Structures are given as C-alpha cells and as structure tokens.
Amino acid sequence: MRYLWACLGFFAAFTLNVLPASAGANKMHKGLAIKHFVLQDTTKIKFVSLKDSLRKDSLNQIKQKTLYNKLSGGVQKNTRDLSLFPAITLQQNLKGNYAGLYVQEPSGEPGTIQNMFLRGATMPLLSKKDVYASQPLVVLDGIPLIGEHPFAFDIQQYDFNRIGPATNLLSTIDINNIASVEVLSDLASTAIYGPRGVNGVILLKSKTPDGIARSISFNSYIGMAQKPTVNTINGKYENEFRQRFYDIYTTNGRYSDDEAYPVYLSDSLNNVYSGKSDWTDLYYKNALVYGINLGLTGGSDRASFRFSLGNTKSDGVADGTGLDRYSAMFNINMKPVKWLLFSAMINGNRLNRTRNRSLRDRFAQINYFPDLSAPLAPNKDYYGSYLNEYSKGFDDNKTNSIQGFAKLVGTLGKFKISSSFNVDYNEGYRDIFYARTLLQGNSYASNYYGFNQRLMMDNKATYDLNLKNVHDFHFELGQSMIWDIYKYNNAYAYKGANDYIKINLLDSKPKNDDGSDNGGYLTPVAFPRELTYRFLDKTEDNLLSFYGKVNYSYNDKYFVSGTLRLDGSSNAQPTKRWFYSPVLSAAWNIKNDLLKDSKGVDDLVLRASAGRMGRTFTYDNYAQGPQYTASVGYTGNLTVPGYNAIGVLTRPYSFGWVGYNVPWSYSDQLNIGVDVAMLKNRLHVSADFYTKAEKNQLLGIPSYAEYGYKQSIESGLNMSNTGVDLTISALVIANSKFSWNSALNLNHNSNKLTALPRGLNEIIIGNRFLKVGQPVDQYWLLENEGIYTANNQVPVVNGQPLKYNGTPLKAGDPRWKDQNGDNIIDERDKVLKGHSLPVLSGGFDNSFTYGNWSLGTNLYFNLGRKLINQDMANRFDFVNREGNTDVSSVKEITFWEKRGDYSKYPLYNPWSTVIPYRTDQDLFLENASFLKLRSVSLGYDLGTVLKKKNIKISKFFVYGSVNNVFVITPYTGQDPELVSYDGIDTGYGQPIPRTYTLGVKMEL
C-alpha cells in the first residue's frame, strides 16, 4: 500500500502543478511545472488472483473487441512504425496510413494548421468555418478533444490565419505515448460518440500500465531537415521576362511614363535589385529536428502507473520557423477492491512556436498596408538589414494544453457501471511588436489571449447475458454532458511613444499607491487612445446526450447491434432542440457458419450498418433566430465593439438573417463491408462500400438586401459522398531468416450536390458555383483555347466582335470558349472542371526483416486531383500587381525565386482590361496527382545480442530514416501538397523538407 500511496501522492502533486488555477482567468500559467520526485518501493509483492487483478480488465476488453470487430470496419495500427517518422503533428503521423483519411498539409512550416477529411468533405468548403465543421473527432482515452473555434474569423479581413498563435492543437500528441491509433469511419463504430463524431472518429489509446512488470522506455531521435535547392532571380532576369511583353505590346518596345514601369526595375545598374541574388543564404537553412521521450512503468496487480516526459523540436527550413514542444503524461490504474477500478490520466503540453516573417501575414494581422511600390531586395546584405529591423520587435506564440480524466468502474457480476469526468483545456498567447522602421514610422503592438475548454461527464451502465453459450447479449445505457467554452481577448495599437515601450497597451494599475481608485487605468500609456482597439468574444456550446445500445450474437455466427440516441444542443433553436439518431448494424460470420472446415479461408465476415446521426451547428448564432450584436463603427475590421466607447446593439447585417424553426442538420449513412483472412492468416483484405447523405445543412443565400442584410442563412443544402475503402495486408514471405510484409490502403470517393435551399438548382457564392447534380469540389472556370494574335481572328457576329463582359476582345487577349454561343464571354460561359479533393488516395507500406535487420518503406499518393496555380498567375499578372496597396500586390522575398514552367503560357497582353492572366480560367488548372516516397527506414535490433551477454534490456532498436525522399508528379509548381483547402496554390506554403534522422528505441 505504501507504493500505492506514493503513486497517489505523485498524481496529486502533478495535478496541482500542471492544471491551470482557473479556466476562465485571463492570466494563466505560462509553463508546466513538474516537481521532482523520488519513489522508494519497499512494498512486498503479494500474489493476487486473476479475478482481483488489473489483468482481468484487459482480458474483458479483448473479448469485447472481438465482438466489436465483427460489426464495424475500424482499422487499428500499432504506433511503433508510425513513430519512426519525425512528425510534430498527429496529422503527419496519420497521413497515407488509413484508407479514407485524407490529410492536407498546406505548408511545411512546423506547427501550422493541417486539415483532415474522412471519406470526403461533408459540405462545400466555402471558408475555414466549413473546414472546421468537417474535421473528424479526435478522441484521446475517451476524451473528445476540442479544437480552435473559427469564430475569431468574424473580426478578420482575411482568413489566412486565425488571430492568436494559430498553432496546430494536435501538435500536443506525442506518438511515443500512444499505444494504438484507430480510424472509425462508419456509424456502427462512431455512433457511441454522437454528433461530435459525425465526420468520423480517430481513436487514440495511450500506453497504460499492464500487469506487474516494471519497465523503463527510452525513445529518441536526432536529425536534419535539408534546405531545398532553388533557382534565384534578380531584377535583370525580371526585366528580361517583362521585356518580351513590351516588345509585343508597346511602341518600339520601350518603357514610357504611361506604362508606369516600376522604379526598382528601371535602373539596370542598381546592384540592390540587379546584382547578386543571394537572399536564400538568410532565408533557407538546414534545420535541426530531434525528439526524446522517457517512460516509466511500474506497480502491482492492484495499482500501477505510467509516467513519461518528452521534448520535441522541429525547426523549419525556411524563414527561421520552428516549434518546440515539452510534454508530460501520467496514467494510473488502481483496484482497491476486486469490484472497483479507478483510472486517471493527465497529458500536459507546452508549445513554443516561431512563426514566419512573411509580409502578407504581417500586413493581414495589422490591417495596414504600407508603400508596396518596391519589394524586398534579393541581395543578402539588404535583405539582412530588413531582418535586423524585424528583430527589433518580437512575435511570441505560446500554447499550453492539458487533457485529463478520472474514471470509476464498478463490476457487480454481470453488471458494470462506469462514470468519468473528462477535461480538455488549451490556452494561447500571442504578443507582437513591430518597430516603426518596418511600417513607415508607425509602430504596432498586439496582445492576444484565448482559451478553449471542454468539460465532460460520462456515465454508462452495461449488462452482459449469455444463454447456453449460444445467445450472447450486451445491453448498454449511457448519458453524457459536454460543456464547451471558447473565449479570446485581443487588443492592438499603432504609433507607440517609442520603440522601447513595446507592449504596454493598457495601464494595469487599477489602484493608486494610496489605495484610491485610478480612474484612468484603462487609458493607454504607450499608445494613443484613438489608435488602440480592443476586442473580446466568448461563445458556449452545451450538448446533453442519452443513448441505449443492444448487441446480440448467435453462436458466434450472426451479430446484430442497435443504438438509439437522443441529443440536445444549446446551438439548436428552442423549437428544434432535440434530435433522435437510430443506428443499426449486423454481421455474418460466414467462416463459422458455412466454411468451418475450409482450410483456405481463415476468417470471412460480411457486415453492414445503416443509420442517421445529427450534426450540431458550429455557431450559437443560429440558436435564437434573428439576433442583435454590438457591431457598429469602422476601424478596418469586420466587428467593432462600440462607437466612441458607447456600446450600441444592431442587427447582425454582415452575418446574415437567421430565421425561425431551423432544423438540425444530419447525416444518413450506409456501409457494407467484408473482412477476409486467408492462407493461414497471411493475407487480410478489408473492403467497405459507403454512401453518406448530408442533409439540411445551412447555406448563406444572398437575400434581404432591402433590409440591410448581406444574406439569409437557410437550411436545405444536401450533398452525398460515395466511395470504397480497401485495405490489403499480406505476409508475402516468412521464414526463419527473412520476412516481407506488405500493406496497401486505397480510398475512392466522389461527391455530389443533391439539393439547395429554397429548391434552387444553382447558386453563385463568391468565386464558387454550386449546381445540383454536380460535385461540390470543382472549379468554376473559363475554358482557354489559346490566344488571338490578330484582331481579325476575333469572331464577329452581326458586326459586333466577341466581348468579355462588354469589352471587345483584341489581339493579345485569350481565346475563351463561348459556351452558349451568344457572342459574349461572361460567367455563363464558365464550366465546372477538376476536383480539389483526390478521387483516389492511399498509401503502400512494405517492411522487410533479415535476422535482426529491418527495412521499411512508405509510399503516399493522390490521384485525380487538380489545383489552381495562382503562384504562376501572379507571376504573369505583373501589371495588375504593381503599385496597389492591397494584399494582391504583396511580394515576398520568394518573389525572387524561379518557379514553374514559363514556356507553357501564352504571351497575352498584360495591359488588357480583360485581365488575361486571371485565375478563373483553366489555363492555370494543373494536374496535381502525385506519388511520394514518404519514408525509408533501416534499423537493427540489438536486443537479442544484449540478452546473450546477460544485459537486461528487452529491446534496443537503432534506426535511421530518410523522409520525404522524392515525389513524382506532372505538377509544375513547388509541391502538389502545398495547397489550401480551396485547391489554390498561392505560393505561400513553405516547402515540406527532406529529413534525415538517427534514432533509438529502448526498453529496460
């Protein structure tokens, strides 16, 4: 018992030092403090029978898992191979490893947001709000993890990055602490998680103490991320590139004041722009990556624990970026009496992120564009002077995250009752200061603090009944309550008193020294009051759920399961508060029924599931119909809390009209699958056909402009995803010296829009065109058929030349196809083409062992996917990008980098008013299919060698790996993976680097 109390003491100390004092406080602990501890075990080990021990619970879980596998197609993987990849985010670990799971990595910058879609996107991705609502649920040891809410985008002009640190919250998962990762795709397996899991579930189970064995694990790697090889250009090259257009479309090929030729290119003798282009020496670098994780496991049959500490550092190869993670995890299981089990877990992380220094992100953050007539110089000395001025300020991004649960499980014969309390909390800080030398004499400072908090109470009662070893019943009743809170405080200011007082936006001294009230303590000290702006917002979301579930199996041949849920959401309207979700699944063990004596088939199961699951609304704006908001005045932002310090309630005209009786959205899903094992279990095949119908989703319809509204938020958008998941694994060769394991996973998915609100057949929203019967991930483009080299080539009908939106086309303009033959090129001539999401995606793994040696390879591929190369469009559209003060005119230092194939684009007249190098044409639509050798690893197991020498090390595995080795693709841009959710390659994504690592995995 002394050892048990020591474990409890450590658990309490760890909790007190890691958990924040108050989830709602504005000032939180900025680090995780862990007390040093020494445990001396003087407990005598006492034999405990199996029925009283923790091992009994593990055996019961295995039994339930066998039944569960018959009913669903969840794919579970051991994380040993996943951990060989030097990932900093969970998405990087999972990419290409599970059928149906598609991961977007828009940038190689460590710690940035990455998107996941399971069996396709569930709605048209019109903004990052839709991307957030389409993400699968990640569950860590029963804790449904909370994400970063997109409501902060309401006060932003641009959705490049969310305000705050904008750090990927799934960077808090250290794969070395995870025992298994399971991707659940069908309702048979996800129904238990309710509306939160309607997009699929990624189930993470941490390593927990097992039995009485005491062990120490040590996992570590160190490596280098290799800087990319790029071709740089300078002003001379840019002049030669532009000269071709001047030779064709200007008088005598000369510059004149009318053409407004940029000053930075007009002097060819200016070495600042036309000299050496060696800026890459300061921008790209070989970067350090390393990780270390130490785990300690111990205990007895009645109490056991696991504790781990870790640090992972991933430096980016571009712009001085990087992410540093410090993590700690503690698990404990205790069984004070034979019928009661107590379990608890705490996972704490601190993330320090160094962000990019891109001009676009900085100007979008400060809502201010300085003079953009001259870009950064490609010369290292001049670019270095810019970086020196940048270093006079700071951009600190910190994130604290903690997850934990406490669970009691009581087993009373065939009855089992469990109750758990789960917590997921994360908080982010971003402090910014930019010196006046960067902004034409205007300094800028900003403070951000925000948190996301999820509390959950979960209660469950089960009863197992077996009749004559033939009829097996499992009854389950459950209830849960989830409380979500999202909050942020944001303030920024311009024109500080000087560059030495950098961050003091508010005087935080409410009391004078004599104790009297300081009435002006909210008056800024370092910045003018008129140029100081403050924003705060908070939203809450509560979900109350009840469910009942019955599993039945007959003679291990036939399996049936039914689930009925009742979910109530605070984001739903009062008249539509509750939603019923029925799910039915069944399986037939053909092997046990018809093929019992067959030696060729080891297992054959046919399964099916069908059901409906509700989908909660992301925002609380829909909960009460038309609402009021404090949104008046103008500061360049979308939402302002008041006017001259006076709060005024107005209708949310910019958000849109929300009516009454808005119903729940929901998903109807059907899954039919088969699992086969053959050749003495050396070949396993799992195939699933699925269809998902997403119904009653909300869409903003342009409407009610006469009342001042931008749009009307209405339900009625329906779409479907249909596809096939296929997983094949085989032990190709197996003998005493050599073995070869191979695994292939594939997903084919197609989507279609089936209905629009109001019974509309089509609608235009921004640059997107949605049409019933067509996929929702297609681009809406003009078809390009070449160039008009002479005016007489332009078609003439009834004496009128072909026109683009009223402007006659001329020599040098694109040949855009007149689809409807009305002699006018306009939006009606655009067609839907390509897919931003892959039609076929997957991965192919191979592992070879020879003696103690092992070799592993991982291939990752996307097929049938296209993207818009906006980076190339910007390069050719130089006329419209010069001299403006907006985000389209921003030129990063990477402007001086040669990308793409210039020869494939016609030389249009860049001064034409039809804007010939516009992005809404198929000229810039490229095939982005690719095959990537994602990793190669070679390792040697020293464990058997050390055992022969009586060295007590159970495992000692040394390995080396090369990651992101090469990519085969027809795409002419940087990397076909560097694309945002809308399928547009803006050129801002930092390269995904090739990395080389050496590592060791050891267990004592």
Min mean pLDDT across 358-372, 427-441, 644-658 is at 644-658
* For range 70-81, the mean pLDDT: 70
User: What is the reported pLDDT for 527?
Assistant: 85
In this predicted structure, the answer to whether residue 64 has a pLDDT above a threshold of 60 is: no
163-193 CB burial, b ≥16 within 10 A, e <16: bbbbbbbbbbbbbbbbeebbbbbbbbbbbbb
* 985: number of Cβ within 10 Å: 28
pLDDT in tens, 900-926: 999 999 999 999 999 999 999 999 999
Mean pLDDT for the chain overall: 87
* Contact criterion met (CB below 8 Å) for 332 and 301: no
β-pairing, 803-804 vs 824-825, is: parallel
> Smallest Cα–Cα separation from 102: which of 111, 114, 110, 88?
114
| pLDDT for 532 | 85
Dihedral angle of Cα 336, 341, 342, 348, to the nearest 10 degrees: 130
Query: Any residues with CB less than 8 A from the CB of 65 and at least 6 apart, and which?
Result: none
Q: Cα 442 to chain center, whole Å?
A: 35
What span, in angstroms and rounded, lies between the C-alpha atoms of 355 and 160?
Answer: 13
pLDDT at 32 over 60: no
3-state helix, strand, coil split of the chain in percent (to 5) is 20, 45, 40
Cα dihedral sign for 957, 959, 963, 967? negative
Say how far apart CA 663 and CA 579 lie, in whole Å: 9
Q: How far is CA 958 from CA 121, 177, 207, 222, 951, in A?
A: 40, 19, 21, 12, 16
HEC readout, 806-818: CEECCCCCEEECC
> What mean pLDDT comes out for the span 200-226?
89
Contact 331, 348 (CB under 8 A): no
Residue 676 and residue 590 in contact, taking contact as beta carbons nearer than 8 Å: no
- Give 626-647 pLDDT, tens digit per residue: 666 655 444 445 555 455 545 5
580/548 Cα distance (integer angstroms) = 12
Helix residue ranges, H only, 72-107 = 79-82, 90-94
Report yes or no: 45 and 301 within 8 Å, Cβ to Cβ: no
Amino acid, res. 908 = Y
Angle CA 324–325–326, to nearest 5: 130
> Pick from 398, 394, 454: which is nearest to 428 by CA?
398
Q: Is 171 helix (H, G, I), strand (E, B) or coil?
A: helix
Closest CA to 220 of 111, 83, 318: 83
Q: Is 804 exposed, middle or buried (0-12, 13-18, 19+ CB in 10 A)?
A: buried
List, for residues 748-766, the tens digit of each pLDDT value.
999 999 999 999 999 999 8
* Per-residue pLDDT reduced to its tens digit, 237-285: 999 999 999 999 987 766 555 556 888 998 888 889 999 999 999 999 9
Write the CA distances from 392 to 122, 247, 387, 438, integer angstroms. Answer: 45, 45, 9, 10
CA distances from 882 to 438, 716, 889, 975, 986 (A): 20, 43, 6, 27, 17
d(CA 629, CA 619): 14
**Burial status of residue 617 (CB atoms within 10 A of its CB: 0-12, 13-18, 19 or more):** buried
The answer, yes or no, to whether residue 24 has pLDDT greater than 70, is no
Distance CA 967, CA 102 (A): 17
State residue 91's pLDDT score: 96
Ranges 172-181, 619-628, 699-708, most confident: 172-181
Residue type, 549: K
Give the Å distances, CA to CA, from 101 to 118, 185, 747: 5, 9, 8
Distances, alpha carbon 469 to alpha carbons 57, 70, 472, in Å = 21, 18, 7
Is the distance from CB of 765 to CB of 129 less than 8 angstroms? no
Matching residue, tokens 């803006």: 986
**Contact yes or no for 313/324 (Cβ under 8 A):** yes
Give the β-pairing of 712-734 and 657-658: parallel
Report in angstroms the alpha-carbon separations of 314 from 176, 287, 321, 479. 16, 8, 9, 41
The residue written with tokens 């070395």 in the block is: 176
Distances (CA, A) of 712 to 383, 622, 634, 656, 782: 48, 11, 23, 5, 29
Look at residue 51 in the predicted model and tell me its pLDDT: 41
Dihedral class, residue 383 (left if φ above 0, else alpha if ψ from -120 to 50, else beta): alpha
Q: CB-side exposure of 951: number of CA atoms within 13 Å? A: 11
| Helix/strand/coil for 151 | helix
Residue 721 CA to residue 752 CA, distance in Å, equals 7
Q: Give the residue among 476, 426, 465 at the shortest CA–CA distance from 138.
A: 426
pLDDT score of 352: 97
Q: Is the Cα torsion angle 63, 66, 67, 68 positive or negative in sign?
A: positive
Spell out the residues 6+ positions from residue 675 whose beta carbon is closer than 8 angstroms to its own: 69, 73, 603, 604, 605, 607, 684, 685, 686
Neighbours of 519 (CB within 10 A): 9
Q: How confident is the model at residue 885 (pLDDT cuts 50, 70, 90)?
A: confident
Nearest Cα to Cα of residue 300 among 206, 209, 208, 205: 209
The H-or-E segment that residue 875 falls in is helix 870-876
Percent of the chain with pLDDT over 70: 87
520, two tokens: 């002006």
Instruction: State the pLDDT confidence band at 155, using cuts at 50, 70 and 90.
Output: confident
Give how far the C-alpha of residue 462 lies from the chain's centroid of Cα atoms, to the nearest Å: 35
- Name the strand (E) or helix (H) holding 364: helix 359-366
Q: Characterize the bridge pairing of strands 137-140 and 201-206.
A: parallel
What's the half-sphere exposure (Cβ side, CA atoms, 13 Å) at 741? 14
Model confidence pLDDT, tens digit, residues 524-555: 678 887 888 888 889 999 999 999 999 999 99
Residue 83 has which token pair? 């951990």
Sign of CA dihedral 899, 900, 904, 907: negative
Query: Are 526 and 504 a contacting pair, CB within 8 Å?
Result: yes
- Using CA atoms, how far apart are residues 337 and 864, in angstroms rounded to an integer? 58
| Per-residue model confidence as pLDDT tens digits over 838-862 | 999 999 999 999 999 999 999 999 9
Give me the DSSP letters along 682-741: TEEEEEEEEEEEEEEEEEEE---GGGT-S-EEEEEEEEEEEEEEEEEEEEEEE-SSEEEE
pLDDT at 121 over 90: yes
729, β-bridge pairs? 684, 743
Quote the radius of gyration of the chain (alpha carbons, Å).
Answer: 30
What confidence score (pLDDT) does residue 524 get?
66
Decide: 818 and 783 in contact? Cβ < 8 Å: no
Q: Is the pLDDT of residue 651 over 90?
A: no
pLDDT in tens, 763-797: 999 899 999 999 999 999 999 999 999 999 999 99
Residue 30 has what pLDDT?
32
Q: How far apart are the first and last CA of the chain?
A: 25
Q: Is 910 helix (H, G, I), strand (E, B) or coil?
A: coil
